[in-house]
Every structure is written in C-alpha cells, then in structure tokens.
Structure 1
Amino acid sequence: MSNKHAPIWPIYKRLLGYTRAYWTFMVAAVIAMVVEALAGYHFTKLMEPLVNRGFVNPEPRMAVILPLTILGLFMMRSLATLVSDYALARTGRSVVRDLREQVLEKYLHLPSAHFDSEATPVMVSRLNYDTEQVTQASADALKTLVADTLTIIAMLVVMLQMSVKVTVAMLVVVPLIGVIVSFVGKRYRRISRGIQDGMGSMAQTAEQSLAAQQEVKVHGTQAHEISRYSRLANRMLGLNM
C-alpha cells in the first residue's frame, strides 16, 4: 500500500503517466471539452438577445433565428459531451486494465513469505477494487480540471462583458470556496482510503467464514460470524454515504 501521508500531486502525476499510451483519446477529449465550453459560452451570451429581442421587444426574424441557434448549440454541446465522455471512459478503463495486469504480475513475482504476512482476499481486493478507483483519479479528474476550468473562464468572460462590478464582487467569494473545496477534497481522500481498506477486510472476513463453514456450523458460531461481517458492512455503508 502507498504511504497515506504521501504528497497528492506526485501520485496524480504518476497516474496520469499511465494515460500517455492513449494520448489520441486524451487529445480528442480535450478538444471536445473546449467545444463544450465554447458552446456554454455562446449559449450564455444568447440569453440577452433571447430575452430582449425575443420577449421584451419581439422581432419576427428572431423567432426563427433563436430556436435554430439554440438547437445548434445543444447539438454541438451534446456531441462534444459524448466524445469527451467516451474518450475519457476508454482511457480510464484501459488504465485500469493495464494496472490490473501489472499488479498481478507483481504478485506472481513476490516471495512466498509475503503471502504469509498478507491475507489473500486483501490482495484480491486491491487487484479488483483499488485499481477500479484509478478510473476516476486518472481520467475523470482530468475532465474536472480541463472542462470546469474552461467553463469558469468562459463564464468569467461573459460576466466581465455584462458587469465588471458584479464580477469583482463574485470573485471576493472565491477564496472561501477554495477553502471549502480543499477541506472536502482531503476528507474525500481519507474516506476513499477507508473504503479501500474496508473492502479488503470484508473480503477477508467473508473468505474466513466460508472457508471454515464446517467449523462454524459445528461450534454454532454463525451469529458471531454474521455479526462480525455486519459490522464491516455497516462501516462501508457509512463511508460510502
């Protein structure tokens, strides 16, 4: 397991390194996210003529132009979202596959003493579950970083064009939002580590109970085993919630 107190950015940088083999999908995703942000920008800009020239002071020709423009923007944004989601999903799932293969290869080259010190279900959980979490860390995080950043920039441009004073007033709130986001991000990471460890413990407990099912029946400890597993399951429920 990795050091729980290791810096975050080097870990993400290492995970993003696994996506280099799928750079074509990543480029397509970034281009699609740029198009998505531009569509959002133009749709926001469209609100002023939609209200002023479509409802307040209606113009006959705008009754045709505005619906077609809105439809075109929605189609463009939908297509861009589809491309970005598919490209990121393909990249993320490919990274998970590669990591699983590497982890299994690493396991098969470990000395026998390691298997005596660590339970096999914990290792299987790391192979099947922990690697699954990399999908969000390696690909979805990039979408959040790129798409949200571009959207924020586009919306800031619109706000500055509409009202500089209101924009400056809104920017005063940004540091507070940053503090909240930082706190929530750290808590999510702690919870994620707890979920990963908990999945291994649940798998180990279930494996022990099922492997020794005859002894459990002979000694009548079914209730104890169920209670032990139930405590872990309830802990996982709390962490996931």
Structure 2
Amino acid sequence: MQKQSLEEKADWRSFIWMIQATKPPKMIMIIALFLSVASSIVSLTIPLFTKKMIDGFTVSSLNKTTIILLVGAFIAQTIASGFSIYLINYTGETVVSRLREQVWQKLLHLTIPYYDRHRTGETVSRITNDTAIVKGLITEHTANFFNGIISITGSVALLLYLDWKMTLIIFILLPLAVSIMIPLGRQMFKNSKRLQDETAQFTAFITQVLSEIRLVKSSNAEQLEYEKGKKGISHLFRYGLKEAKVQAMVMPLMGIVLMLLLVVILGFGGYRVSTGAMTAGGLVAYILYLFQMVMPLAAFSTFFTQLQKAMGATQRIMATLCEQEEDYLSGEEVARIDEPIHVNHLSFSYENGEPVLKNVNFTIEPGKVTAIVGPSGSGKTTFFSILERYYTPTSGSVFLGEKPIHALSLSSWRQQIGYVSQESPLIAGTIRDNICYGLDHQVSDEELKWAADMAYASPFIEELPKKYETEVGERGIKLSGGQRQRIAIARALLRNPRILLLDEATSNLDSQSEMAVQKALQNLMKGRTTIVIAHRLSTVINADQIIFMEKGEITGMGTHQELFATHALYREFAIQQLHLHEEMQKNTAKG
C-alpha cells in the first residue's frame, strides 16, 4: 500500500512538472480563474433572489429594478462563464501544443538504439494518443473542476446559513460517495494504463502493416494480418469493457446517493416548512444551492476518471522525455577532413546480442576508395552505423587523424558525410524536396540542375510533366529503383560531403539502371574519401583497398590482385561473380 502511494505521488509530481515545463500563460490563467470565481459568485446570488421572490411574491414586488438585477445576474454569469471557459481552453491548448513540440523535438533527437527497442507506432502514440488524453483533461474538464470547487464552497456556506441542520445530513451522506469513488478510481487508473499500452501496441501494428501493404498483398497475407489485427482489436475491446464496467458501477452508485440525498432533503425540508422553521422560498433556494453543489460533484467523478487516464499518459510521455538523446553541439568542430581515418581495436555488439564486430583494425586513406566486402552478416553495415555515430562502440574507437570522432561535434561530423544506401529512402514530396532535403539554405535552380546532371537524373526528370515539382509518393514509390538511387546521389552531391558512404548502392538495379548509377557514382566519388559496401565485386575491383570481413573480423586486406592471390574465400567470390575461372585456367596453362 505504501509503495502504491509513493507511485501515485510520483505520478502527481511528474504531471505537475510536465505541465510547468510547458510554461503555461500564467496571466491568462489568473484572468480565467478570476472570471470563474466571478461567474460562480454571481450564480450563488440567483437562489437568494429566488427566495426573496417566492417568500414575498406579489405583482407589485416584480418591480423594474428586481427584474433588471435578475436579468443582469444571468447575463453577467453567462459572459463571465463563457470567457472563463474559453481562456482555460486556450491555456490547455497552449500547454498541449508546447508539450507536443517537446515530445516531437525529443523524438527527433533520440538515439538510434531507442528506435531499435521501440516500434514506430508505439512512438507515434506518445505524441498523438497520450497528449490527446492530457489535452482532454485540461480543456474539457479543468474548467468545470475549478468552477465546481468555487460553486461547492459557496453553496455549502449558504446551505449552512439557510439551514445548518439539513446540511449536516449532507455531510453524513457525502463520505459514502467518497468511499465509493476512491477504490473505483484506482481500478480505473489500472485499466486506463493497460488500455493505453494496448492502444500503443495496436497503433504500432497497423502502422507497420500499412507501411508494407505491397508486401502484404504480394504475399496474400491479408487474412493473416486481419487475424492479427482482430486480436489487437479484441484486446482493446476487452480493456474498454473493463473501463465500462467501472463506469457502470460509478454512475448508478453516484445516482443512488444523489437521489437518496434529494429525497431526504425534500422530505425533511417539507417537514421544516410545515412547522414554520423554514419558509417555502428558503426550501426552494436550499434545493437550488443543493443542485449547485451536487452537479459539480457528479462532474468531479468524470474529472477524476480523466485524471487517472492522464496519469497513465504522463508516465509514458515522461518515460520518453527522460530517454537519452544525441548531443549535436558538444565537441570540437571538424578542422581538417583530408586526414586518414584509423579504426583501432573496434568491437561492437547490440544489446544482449552476440558481438558483431571483433577487434577490427584498418586505415582509410583520404581521397582513396576503400571497399568492404564479405558474406551477409559480417558487420559491414554495422561499421557504417558506427562511422555515422548511430551507435557507440563496445570497445575501441575510430579516429580522424589523431582525434577520436566522438570528440568531434556530432553536427559537424555528420556534415562531412554523404550516405547513399541500398534502399535510397525518399520522403513524400517533390523531387526538388528530396534532392534539397536537410539543407539549411535556399538551393538555386542552377545548383539543382547541376546536381541532377552529375547524378544522371536529369534525363528522366525532364521527361516528367512537372519535372522537379513531380510528387514521388510515400517512400518514393512512384519512381523506379534506379531513379531513386540517382535522386539520392544528387542529394549527396548538393551536400558536398568529404566522406562518402556507399552501402550496396547498385545491388538491386537492372543492368541499364546500374550503368547510369555507376556513372553518377563516379562523379560523386571524385576527390572524396569513399567507403563502399558491395556484394558485387565488379563494382569495387578497382578500389585502392579492399577489406574482406567474415563474422565481424577482418580476414583479408589489400588490392583485388593481392586478395585474389592470397585469400581463398575472396578468390571463390571472385570466381563466382567475375567468371574468372577461364582466365585462371589460361594462366595455369601458360605456367
């Protein structure tokens, strides 16, 4: 019980800290609170007018002043209440907008290992579903909560003034309602947290399936994914029913308590009127004040239910905000890039996984082409990820000249790198958007045309109806693989990187597209330190240095000729891919 209490306190502190961190507009909150108080005070005067009218009702008592005051009270309450609700909603929208900005900024700065551990849909749920729950609490329920506190406080004071004996009956019945609400509220919190977890998992599932809908259809997997989705929907349905069961207990029980209270008050009040201890107008005023107290109490049950949901959402948002993020600015600026890259005793393994790289040592000379080849799973792409500083080595380090790259500012280091991968990721937008992506300056039409020309992308771009303003579709689906690769190369050319990483950039292309992309790569590689990953040895046979990797270790290093002569597995690769067995037989015959 004590542990649970501490957790609840921690949730409250986290929620308050999270709201304070958004720097809500305090002056607007003060004005809203003032108008809320004014509205509630005005509403508290109306039953007194009613009492006076009923107790001394005559035609002559309905004078112009009384009517004006009564109408004025209604108008003042309406205006004050309207402005108060608007300003509280404005505050809530501001808080949630800034909270979403914080979460979005955090998501963009989180490390790659975070995204390895969390599915994309679950992460998206943080900035959509969870912030929407917090928004619902602030904008839909907070105004009623504050108005309710003032209304209840004033109503209780006036109820005691009108008839303290009947008010004691209320104080006897209220603890009964509270004793019902507390355990049900705790159960609502548990159910709500589980429901949010299930919602995040379901969001992750449908995001993954819809993003790969072509794979689903080509594999005839619609029924399989339907069953998986149906299972997720069933989980949501089950937790939704649990929440409905709690609400089904809360609302009727509260209704019974309130009905019992009203019956008792009417019965006892009627008795006191008959004995002359209370006037008829006093009883009517008493009942009106009772409603002004009871209605907020009913709204409180909804508020606390929403509050329990917001606590669960807060835990998840805070967990994301407390994750480690990349530090882009700390460290030295890259002073010289035309220095060798030294890889010293580099080892790496993913979390709870087998070592992927094992004591790797080699040097990449500036301005030269270094190729990394080997079987799948040998650690080639992982090395690129470490070079990009997506991951921190388990041991060892990478140096630029005499400086370890982790001592350089991340922003400065990544500015030096151009990365062309096998998939050539594109964003949904125009060809211009994709070629200029990530640049912080305006790109002229001449620069854009130059990059497209150098990437051999101009011919197909000029044939399109809208040319550079052509929409490429989600993940560039409207373009062929070769076209996507050439746009990626044009993007890299505009960045003018000094270090170029090519990750199997031509492995999935047909021969015609490969020829165009190879020409574009030749333009891109000129004067740059280039590191190439390739399965096709034909693309790297002229590299200045070839590194052969097996199971995370370097087993051979040298030129194509040197490795062909000394490395059995490399020679096997070469024979299979380059069809050199006839040449070898001729050389053997000559020997």
2:203 corresponds in structure 1 to: 203
- The question of 1:234 aligning with 2:242 is answered no
2:337 corresponds in structure 1 to: none
- The question of 1:30 aligning with 2:16 is answered no
Once residues 197 and 149 of structure 1 are traced to their aligned partners in structure 2, the CA distance between those partners, rounded to angstroms, is 33
The structural deviation recorded for 1:102 is 0.9
Letter in 1 for 2:41: L
Q: How does 1:130-145 map to 2 (within 5 A)?
A: 130-138=130-138, 142-145=142-145
Whether the aligned pair in 2 keeps the contact of 1:15 and 1:137 (CA below 8 Å) is no
Q: How does 1:87-166 map to 2 (within 5 A)?
A: 87-138=87-138, 142-166=142-166
Once residues 60 and 115 of structure 2 are traced to their aligned partners in structure 1, the CA distance between those partners, rounded to angstroms, is 77
Q: Tell me: CA distance 1:205–1:109, structure 2 relative to 1, closer, same or farther (3 Å).
A: same
Whether the aligned pair in 2 keeps the contact of 1:194 and 1:239 (CA below 8 Å) is no
Once residues 36 and 44 of structure 1 are traced to their aligned partners in structure 2, the CA distance between those partners, rounded to angstroms, is 14
Letter in 2 for 1:31: F
2:77 corresponds in structure 1 to: 77
Whether the aligned pair in 1 keeps the contact of 2:23 and 2:95 (CA below 8 Å) is no
Match of 1:44 among 38, 41, 47: 47
2:571 corresponds in structure 1 to: none
1:189 corresponds in structure 2 to: 189
- The answer to which of 205-214 and 80-89 deviates more is 205-214
Q: Tell me: CA distance 1:43–1:20, structure 2 relative to 1, closer, same or farther (3 Å).
A: farther
Whether the aligned pair in 1 keeps the contact of 2:121 and 2:203 (CA below 8 Å) is yes
Q: Tell me: CA distance 1:37–1:71, structure 2 relative to 1, closer, same or farther (3 Å).
A: same
The structural deviation recorded for 1:29 is 1.0
- The answer to which of 82-91 and 182-191 deviates more is 182-191
- List alignment gaps of at least 5 residues for structure 2: 1-5, 245-591
Q: Tell me: CA distance 1:168–1:233, structure 2 relative to 1, closer, same or farther (3 Å).
A: closer
Q: 1:172 aligns to what SS in structure 2?
A: helix
- The question of 1:9 aligning with 2:9 is answered no
- Measured against aligned partners, the alpha-carbon deviations of 1:91-148 in whole angstroms (never above 9, x if no partner) come to 1111111111111121222211110110011101111121122224456564344321
- Measured against aligned partners, the alpha-carbon deviations of 1:1-56 in whole angstroms (never above 9, x if no partner) come to xxx944243134224424644001101111011112101210122221122223xx
The structural deviation recorded for 1:229 is 4.5
Once residues 29 and 83 of structure 1 are traced to their aligned partners in structure 2, the CA distance between those partners, rounded to angstroms, is 7
2:175 corresponds in structure 1 to: 175
- The answer to which of 212-221 and 195-204 deviates more is 212-221
The structural deviation recorded for 1:75 is 1.0
- The structure whose RCO (Cα within 8 Å, separation 6+) is larger is 1
Q: 1:62 aligns to what SS in structure 2?
A: coil
Once residues 62 and 19 of structure 1 are traced to their aligned partners in structure 2, the CA distance between those partners, rounded to angstroms, is 52
Whether the aligned pair in 2 keeps the contact of 1:126 and 1:196 (CA below 8 Å) is no
Q: Tell me: CA distance 1:19–1:210, structure 2 relative to 1, closer, same or farther (3 Å).
A: closer
- The answer to which of 135-144 and 41-50 deviates more is 135-144
Once residues 61 and 150 of structure 2 are traced to their aligned partners in structure 1, the CA distance between those partners, rounded to angstroms, is 32
CA RMSD after TM alignment: 2.6
Once residues 220 and 16 of structure 1 are traced to their aligned partners in structure 2, the CA distance between those partners, rounded to angstroms, is 44
2:86 corresponds in structure 1 to: 86
Once residues 72 and 181 of structure 1 are traced to their aligned partners in structure 2, the CA distance between those partners, rounded to angstroms, is 38
Q: 1:61 aligns to what SS in structure 2?
A: coil
Whether the aligned pair in 1 keeps the contact of 2:202 and 2:229 (CA below 8 Å) is no
Name whichever structure is richer in helix by fraction: 1
Once residues 67 and 185 of structure 2 are traced to their aligned partners in structure 1, the CA distance between those partners, rounded to angstroms, is 40
Once residues 76 and 139 of structure 2 are traced to their aligned partners in structure 1, the CA distance between those partners, rounded to angstroms, is 22
- Measured against aligned partners, the alpha-carbon deviations of 1:57-77 in whole angstroms (never above 9, x if no partner) come to x14132544433332122111
Letter in 1 for 2:55: N
Once residues 6 and 133 of structure 1 are traced to their aligned partners in structure 2, the CA distance between those partners, rounded to angstroms, is 18
Q: 1:173 aligns to what SS in structure 2?
A: helix
> What's the TM-score, normalizing by structure 2?
0.37
Q: 1:194 aligns to what SS in structure 2?
A: helix
Letter in 1 for 2:230: S
Q: Tell me: CA distance 1:167–1:95, structure 2 relative to 1, closer, same or farther (3 Å).
A: same
Q: 2:25 aligns to what SS in structure 1?
A: helix
2:429 corresponds in structure 1 to: none
The structural deviation recorded for 1:173 is 1.8
2:402 corresponds in structure 1 to: none
Once residues 25 and 185 of structure 1 are traced to their aligned partners in structure 2, the CA distance between those partners, rounded to angstroms, is 31
Whether the aligned pair in 2 keeps the contact of 1:96 and 1:131 (CA below 8 Å) is yes
- List alignment gaps of at least 5 residues for structure 1: none
Q: Tell me: CA distance 1:139–1:129, structure 2 relative to 1, closer, same or farther (3 Å).
A: same
Letter in 2 for 1:47: T
Whether the aligned pair in 2 keeps the contact of 1:201 and 1:232 (CA below 8 Å) is no
Name whichever structure is richer in strand by fraction: 2
Q: Tell me: CA distance 1:189–1:84, structure 2 relative to 1, closer, same or farther (3 Å).
A: farther
Once residues 19 and 36 of structure 1 are traced to their aligned partners in structure 2, the CA distance between those partners, rounded to angstroms, is 28
> What's the TM-score, normalizing by structure 1?
0.84
Larger Rg: 2
